């Protein structure tokens, strides 16, 4: 009997049980059942051998890929996020809207959620301001990004993702996130290490709620130093 | 029988204690310990407030733009400032603060501007800093968290009234007890 004919003698449940056995996820009784199945049914042994070969091939193939310890960096950043959350509180999650959001919701199986989460996290790591990047605005020395008019601004910059630890130059600015009530521009010059951030006001005021929110903080702020009081009066007379 | 029972009881107590303390012991491991060590130190933050005047058309050519007037105390920033669409830059005020890691400090600047800073970490030769700048009208000019090399000037500006702009140049350096004494704040001429 050919291998494919033999495979047909295995039920779907048997295959699942054998997969769990190979992954080391079987319990005591299931291991005994698998051992019995392997002795009694040659198809089970063929199935197990085939799975082992595939696993071996996958391992060999993965050795050919460049070794990028991305997970180490991801875990490091998660740790940073946790520490930052202690001081800053949890990040507010903004629900996406539009066609893409509906599409993403539709494909939200557990696998896709895990995958998209990993991709999003990896993308967040890539938001670096590389000094070698020059944008389109020649007059202003290169505008790397001009955000849209949405309230929460995402600084998505044109830059080569810096994955490798050895590649990471200390002379770059990494931005985790950036928000503004205005329109944000990142002005960049390849000769300078840090970019400049310029904010343009919007024509309509959106700041009133922010002002109310900050009243509690105003009571806690540090009083201006005499120098600053003097400067304020100078500024007022200007 | 009672001996076996007491042994089991002692073992279960040890397990319970180790389970309860493991998060605490784990917290003092690696990154967290370095963070705790850093919290004993801090950073020296220098905030320079700059008034940008004489707004120029963004379409103007480079030769006309070359006639810049930059305050002598902003010489280190002149290369950056010349990229902006203003001709004149005056230092309004300068303030230095020593901030501890993890501690938030709000600094009141001129015209009701408030800058809140919180140094977060010092990792991979980079300082992690949370910056929030609110102007006199309550507008959130910028709210960001970034990591940058010590000594680097982070320049953030906003269009102010008329044809002027307000710029903040924030320099952050690690600070320890061995650091030189803080100089007196620079004032406007």
Q: How far is B57 from chain A (nearest CA, A)?
A: 10
pLDDT of residue A65: 67
The answer to whether residue B111 is domain-embedded is yes
The answer to whether residue B185 is domain-embedded is no
The answer to whether residue B104 is domain-embedded is yes
Q: Of B21, B140, B147, B174, give the one whose Cα is nearest residue A180.
A: B140
Q: B26 and B89: one domain?
A: no
pLDDT band at B175 (very low <50, low <70, confident <90, very high): confident
Residue identified by tokens 């060999």 is A60
Q: B31 and B50: one domain?
A: no
Burial of A141 (0-12, 13-18, 19+ CB in 10 A): buried
Q: B124 and B75: one domain?
A: yes
Q: Which residues of A touch B147 (CB under 8 A)?
A: 173-174, 176
Q: B12 and B62: one domain?
A: no
Q: B20 and B93: one domain?
A: no
- Boundaries of domain holding B8: 2-35
ipTM: 0.71
pLDDT of residue B130: 92
Q: What is the mean pLDDT of residues B178-182?
A: 51
Query: In this complex, do B141 and A182 lie within 8 Å of one another by their Cβ atoms?
Result: yes
Residue identified by tokens 């029972």 is B5
Higher pLDDT, A150 or A195: A195
Q: How far is A211 from chain B (nearest CA, A)?
A: 4
pLDDT of residue B101: 86
The answer to whether the beta carbons of residues A187 and B83 sit under 8 Å apart is: yes
Query: In this complex, do B188 and A177 lie within 8 Å of one another by their Cβ atoms?
Result: no
Higher pLDDT, A37 or A216: A37
Nearest CB to A228; choose among B108, B146, B149:
B108
The answer to whether residue B182 is domain-embedded is no
The answer to whether residue B187 is domain-embedded is no
* pLDDT tens-digit series, residues A158-181: 333 333 333 444 456 788 888 888
Nearest CB to B187; choose among A192, A207, A227:
A227
The answer to whether residue B181 is domain-embedded is no
* pLDDT tens-digit series, residues B53-80: 988 876 655 555 567 888 888 888 888 8
Q: B57 and B31: one domain?
A: no
Q: How far is B175 from chain A (nearest CA, A)?
A: 19
The answer to whether residue B188 is domain-embedded is no
* pLDDT tens-digit series, residues A186-215: 877 666 667 788 888 876 544 444 443 433
Q: How many domains is chain B partitioned into structurally?
A: 2
The answer to whether the beta carbons of residues B185 and A225 sit under 8 Å apart is: yes
Residue of A nearest to B171 (CA): A194
Q: B13 and B28: one domain?
A: yes
The answer to whether the beta carbons of residues B169 and B47 sit under 8 Å apart is: yes
- The total of other beta-carbon atoms located within 10 Å of residue B38's CB is 19
Angstrom distances, CA of residue B42 to CA of A227, B35, B107, B186: 24, 11, 17, 22
Contacts of A212 (CB under 8 A, 6+ apart): B138
- CA–CA dist A81, A83 (Å, integer): 5
Q: Map residue B26 onto helix, strand or coil.
A: helix
Q: B72 and B8: one domain?
A: no
Q: B77 and B158: one domain?
A: yes
* pLDDT tens-digit series, residues B94-114: 999 888 888 888 999 888 899
Residue of A nearest to B65 (CA): A139
Q: B102 and B22: one domain?
A: no
């Amino acid at each position: 009997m050919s291998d494919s004919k033999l495979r047909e003698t295995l039920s779907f449940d048997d295959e699942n049980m054998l997969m769990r056995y190979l992954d080391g996820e079987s319990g005591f009784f299931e291991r005994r059942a698998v051992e019995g199945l392997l002795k009694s049914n040659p198809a089970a042994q063929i199935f197990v051998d085939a799975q082992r070969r595939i696993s071996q091939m996958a391992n060999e193939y993965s050795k050919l890929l460049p070794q990028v310890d991305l997970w180490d960096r991801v875990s490091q950043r998660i740790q940073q996020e946790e520490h930052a959350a202690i001081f800053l509180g949890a990040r507010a999650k903004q629900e996406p809207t539009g066609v893409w959001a509906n599409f993403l919701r539709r494909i939200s199986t557990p696998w896709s959620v895990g995958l998209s989460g990993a991709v999003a996290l990896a993308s967040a790591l890539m938001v670096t301001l590389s000094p070698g990047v020059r944008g389109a605005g020649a007059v202003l020395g290169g505008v790397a990004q001009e955000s849209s008019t949405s309230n929460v601004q995402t600084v998505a910059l044109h830059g080569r993702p810096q994955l490798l630890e050895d590649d990471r130059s200390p002379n770059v600015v990494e931005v985790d996130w950036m928000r503004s009530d205005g329109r944000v521009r990142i002005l960049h010059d390849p000769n300078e290490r840090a970019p400049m951030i310029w904010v343009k006001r919007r024509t309509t005021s959106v700041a009133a709620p922010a002002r109310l929110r900050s009243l509690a903080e105003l009571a806690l702020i540090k009083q201006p130093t005499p120098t600053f009081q003097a400067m304020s009066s100078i500024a007022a007379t200007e | 029988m009672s001996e076996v029972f007491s042994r089991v009881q002692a073992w279960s107590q040890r397990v319970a204690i180790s389970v309860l303390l493991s998060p605490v012991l784990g917290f003092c491991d690696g990154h967290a310990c370095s963070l705790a060590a850093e919290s004993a130190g801090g950073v020296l933050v220098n905030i320079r407030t700059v008034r940008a005047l004489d707004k120029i058309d963004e379409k103007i050519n480079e030769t006309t733009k070359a006639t810049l007037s930059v305050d002598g105390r902003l010489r280190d920033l002149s290369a950056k400032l010349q990229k902006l669409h203003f001709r004149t830059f005056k230092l309004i005020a300068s303030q230095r603060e020593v901030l501890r890691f993890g501690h938030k400090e709000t600094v009141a600047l001129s015209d009701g501007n408030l800058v809140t800073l919180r140094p977060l970490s010092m990792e991979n030769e980079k300082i992690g800093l949370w910056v929030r700048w609110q102007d006199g009208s309550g507008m959130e000019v910028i709210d960001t968290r970034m990591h940058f090399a010590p000594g680097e000037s982070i320049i953030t500006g906003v269009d102010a009234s008329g044809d002027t702009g307000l710029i903040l140049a924030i320099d952050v350096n690690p600070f320890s007890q061995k650091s030189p004494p803080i100089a007196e704040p620079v004032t406007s001429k």
